[in-house]
Every structure is written in structure tokens, then in C-alpha cells.
Amino acid sequence: MKSAIKDLLEKKVKMSESDKAPKIEKINQYIEEKPAYYKVLAESMKDDRNPDWEPLEKAFRDIILRTGF
């Protein structure tokens, strides 16, 4: 992938902003596949979010009070 990105950047340097270049299949394939991969990965992970916002709220209030807002 790094070589495909390097090639793309080399081409873009030589082009004006409005020029269009042919698609680079390896990059397009990556763009199409990775969101689906990460969606499946994220959905398979355990939800470890902490629903208790009080410590964060307290820190926020302390900062606000110290800065005089």
C-alpha cells in the first residue's frame, strides 16, 4: 500500500488541483474494504464504555470554577 500511496503523491505533485488521474485499483480496493472490516471488528468488541460521567463532570466543573468562567 505504501508504494501505491507514494505513486499517487508523485502524480498529484505534477498535476494541477483540477486534473483527474486514473484510479489506482489497489487504493480503491483498500478504501472499499477497510470500513467493512473495521465495522465488523468494532461490533465484535466488548462494550467497555463507562456510563458514569460524574468524575469527568466534576473535573469539568473544577476547571470552570478555577478559571473564572
pLDDT value at position 18? 87
Average per-residue pLDDT in the chain? 91
Pairwise CA distance, residues 29 & 9, whole Å: 17
Contact 30, 1 (CB under 8 A): yes
Q: State the average pLDDT over residues 51-63.
A: 94
Predicted confidence (pLDDT) at residue 32 exceeds the cutoff of 90 = yes
On the 0-12 / 13-18 / 19+ scale of CB atoms within 10 A, 26 is middle
Predicted confidence (pLDDT) at residue 69 exceeds the cutoff of 80 = no
pLDDT band at 68 (very low <50, low <70, confident <90, very high): confident
Long-range contacts of 53-62 (CB under 8 A, 24+ apart): none
Contact 1, 26 (CB under 8 A): yes
pLDDT band at 6 (very low <50, low <70, confident <90, very high): very high
